[in-house]
Chains A and B, each alone.
Chain A
Amino acid sequence: KAGVTQTPRYLIKTRGQQVTLSCSPISGHRSVSWYQQTPGQGLQFLFEYFSETQRNKGNFPGRFSGRQFSNSRSEMNVSTLELGDSALYLCASSLETAFNEKLFFGSGTQLSVL
């Protein structure tokens, strides 16, 4: 079974731009959650999507948004990029929930904002 696939692997953007990251979950997994990983803050929960609906949201500004398609693939978007948005963005898929069962993580998208 293929794992969680995230594209692109690396991104370099400048302040003020916007970016879209993509995640393909494991086949049959309906929950997709996103995390931001930075050296200082560790892994921080952004949001979770289930059946094309955002089910839970972390404490991030509205510049961070996402969506999920009918095939469970998910995208996240960051608008008006700031230097502090530089981070590794991880996508995780699971069968039903993002808080009570094993999460399968992708290798992440490394975003650098200059």
Chain B
Amino acid sequence: GENVEQHPSTLSVQEGDSAVIKCTYSDSASNYFPWYKQELGKGPQLIIDIRSNVGEKKDQRIAVTLNKTAKHFSLHITETQPEDSAVYFCAANQAGTALIFGKGTTLSVSS
């Protein structure tokens, strides 16, 4: 089955800096890669996703890149703000069944 590894587990940045979180996956059949943000006391919320026919996708300060050959994808957050502080999860789909999540990255943005 699919296995998703996520790094780093914690990340601290200064407000205004960029943050990058990386994930690798094992199943070459995976074709959908979402990123979720989880704030304290809440469920995860989708922030951006990418499909395997696209190499990069942007939404304002957030971007995701996908390298199918190397089986890795990354989340890029530019101009970080304190409200970006949360736990971020990457995921990859296991064909026909479910999303398999990485173990999460706790991002802290200090002002």
Indicate which residue in A44, A99, A107 contacts B94 across the interface (CB closer than 8 Å). A99
Residues of A within 8 Å of B34, CB to CB, are: 102-103
Residues of B within 8 A of A50 (CB): none
Stretch touching chain A among B12-20, B37-45, B53-61, B76-84: B37-45
Closest partner residue, chain A, to B51 (CB atom): A100
Q: How far is the CA of A98 from the CA of B43 in the complex (A)?
A: 16
- B43 and A102 within 8 A (CB): no
A107 to B97, CA, bound (A): 23
Binary B-proximity of A83-112 (CB < 8 A = 1, otherwise 0): 000000010100000111111011110000
Q: How many residues of A contact B (CB 8 A)?
A: 23
Chain A: which residue is nearest B41 at the CB level? Answer: A107
When distances are taken between beta carbons in the complex, the residues of chain B under 8 Å from A92 are 43
A-B residue pair count with CB separations less than 8 angstroms: 59
| Bound: A45/B97 CA distance, A | 10
Residue in chain B with minimal CB distance to A57:
B97
From B31, B96, B97, B104, give the contact of A42 (CB < 8 A). B104
Q: Tell me if B43 and A42 are in contact (CB < 8 A).
A: no
Query: Taking chain B's interface residues, is the majority helix, strand, or loop, or is none over half, making it mixed?
Result: strand
**Nearest A residue (CB) for B87:** A42
Are B98 and A90 interface neighbours, CB within 8 A? no
Whether A106 lies near B99 (C-beta < 8 A) is: no
A31–B96 alpha-carbon span in the complex (Å) = 13
Per-position binary interface string of chain A over residues 47-89, scored 1 when its CB falls under 8 Å from any chain B CB and 0 otherwise: 0100000001010000000000000000000000000000000
Across the A-B interface, give the 8 residue pairs with the lowest CB-CB distance, nearest first.
A105-B43, A42-B103, A43-B101, A45-B98, A99-B93, A56-B97, A102-B46, A105-B44
Binding site for A on B (CB under 8 A): 31-32, 34, 36, 41-46, 49, 89, 93-104
**Interface residues of A, Cβ cutoff 8 Å to B:** 4, 33, 35, 41-45, 48, 56, 58, 90, 92, 98-103, 105-108
